[in-house]
Amino acid sequence: MLERQPYKLYMEPGLSDSCLIVGWAKDGGRIGSKLVEYLARELRGHCFAEIEPVDFFPLGGVTVEDDVAEFPEARFYCCRDSNLVLFHGDLPACEWHRYLDSILEVAQQYCNAREIYTVGGMFSLSPHTAPRQMFAIAGSPDMKQYLSRYGLAGDFDHDTPPGQRPTLSSFLLWEANRRGVAGAGLWTSVPFYLAAVEDPAACRKPLEFLNTRFKLGIDFSELDAEIARVNDLLARARSTDPQVDGYVQKLESNLALAEQELEALAAKIEDYFKRERL
């Protein structure tokens, strides 16, 4: 059964032996969106292709987020000077493998991609005042050895807990491995109460790694300004709401919050950020 190509190419990206960097929309702390947006801006990336949504999303209407109608996106950007392909997309509702296949096909066929990194946020019970931690899942032992140069190789084991499913990044990494593309998943801790809003501090970690790895010469000043703005907002939330301050203090003292407290803190912060329209 022949299937039509699910993507559109707008121009030849003009890359060779490139590296693909993948960030997902709406992931924890919005790391993926922020990172791809920042890289595309800093490296003067151009959108050169996109995956059509029709095969992957229900399209039975639109969702409204922060008063605005949303629509699924899946775009590729080429950054010629740095030889990077960026992909930013929503998580598909079906046809996952074909979606991932399309990402890799565009990257390999038109950009000769040899390497791939996915970025994502991982919920953490640490407070926002603690440094973010990043770790990598390597797609192969060779990649693990390579990552050790950057202090990113870990020796941990992990099996998906019962009742949960692996991330789409892991599925993508697995498929890249099958295609002989070296890759790694970069995971950064995001304080759980920033997962539904934005955590630019968590975004800085993978960005720092990519900056070093590809000698990108990124100017972090805008990102640092955003980090300062978020920290300021959190400080104001703490000073205006003693309950928020109490919960964060507990986390800072390494004390566990009860489930109700966890939920209350996350809800209060989300509400506060939305009111401030960050």
Site string for another protein, 176-215 (x = CB under 8 A): -x-------x------------------------------
Binding another protein by CB under 8 A: which of 85, 143, 210, 223?
143
CA-CA-CA-CA dihedral for 182, 187, 152, 223, to nearest 10? 110
Beta pairing, strands 68-69 & 64-65: antiparallel
C-alpha atoms less than 13 angstroms from C-alpha of 233 in its C-beta half-sphere: 22
Binding another protein by CB under 8 A: which of 36, 122, 138, 186?
138
Among 78-86, 134-142, 195-203, 227-235, which window interacts with another protein (CB under 8 A)? 134-142
Q: Smallest gap, in angstroms, from Cβ of residue 187 to another protein? A: 11
Applying CB under 8 A, does 172 fall inside the site for another protein?
no
Buried b (16+ CB within 10 A) or exposed e, 14-34: ebeebbbbbbbbebbbbbbbb
Q: How far apart are CA 206 and CA 216, in angstroms?
A: 13
Among 62-70, 130-138, 190-198, 246-254, which window interacts with another protein (CB under 8 A)? 130-138
Applying CB under 8 A, does 170 fall inside the site for another protein?
yes
- Binding-site size, another protein (CB under 8 A): 35
Binding another protein by CB under 8 A: which of 61, 141, 253, 260?
141
Residue 241 contacts residue 234 (beta carbons within 8 Å): no
Ramachandran angles phi, psi of 90, nearest 5°: -75, 160
DSSP tag of 6: -
Q: Smallest gap, in angstroms, from Cβ of residue 51 to another protein? A: 16
Applying CB under 8 A, does 61 fall inside the site for another protein?
no
Q: How far apart are CA 122 and CA 157, in angstroms?
A: 16
Applying CB under 8 A, does 136 fall inside the site for another protein?
yes
Q: Smallest gap, in angstroms, from Cβ of residue 155 to another protein? A: 5
Q: Name the 3-class secondary structure at 136.
A: strand
| Closer Cβ to another protein, 60 or 131, answer by number | 60
Q: Smallest gap, in angstroms, from Cβ of residue 182 to another protein? A: 12
Q: How far apart are CA 191 and CA 27, in angstroms?
A: 13
CA-CA-CA-CA dihedral for 56, 39, 197, 59, to nearest 10? -20
The distance between the two most distant Cα atoms of the chain, rounded to a whole number of Å, is: 62
Applying CB under 8 A, does 115 fall inside the site for another protein?
no
Q: Smallest gap, in angstroms, from Cβ of residue 57 to another protein? A: 10
Listing DSSP states for 43-87 in one string gives: TT-EEEEEE-GGGTS--SS--EETTEE----EEEEEETTTTEEEE
Binding another protein by CB under 8 A: which of 95, 208, 245, 261?
95
Applying CB under 8 A, does 173 fall inside the site for another protein?
yes
Interface residues with another protein (CB under 8 A) are 1, 58, 93-98, 135-141, 143-144, 153-160, 165-167, 170-171, 173-175, 177, 185
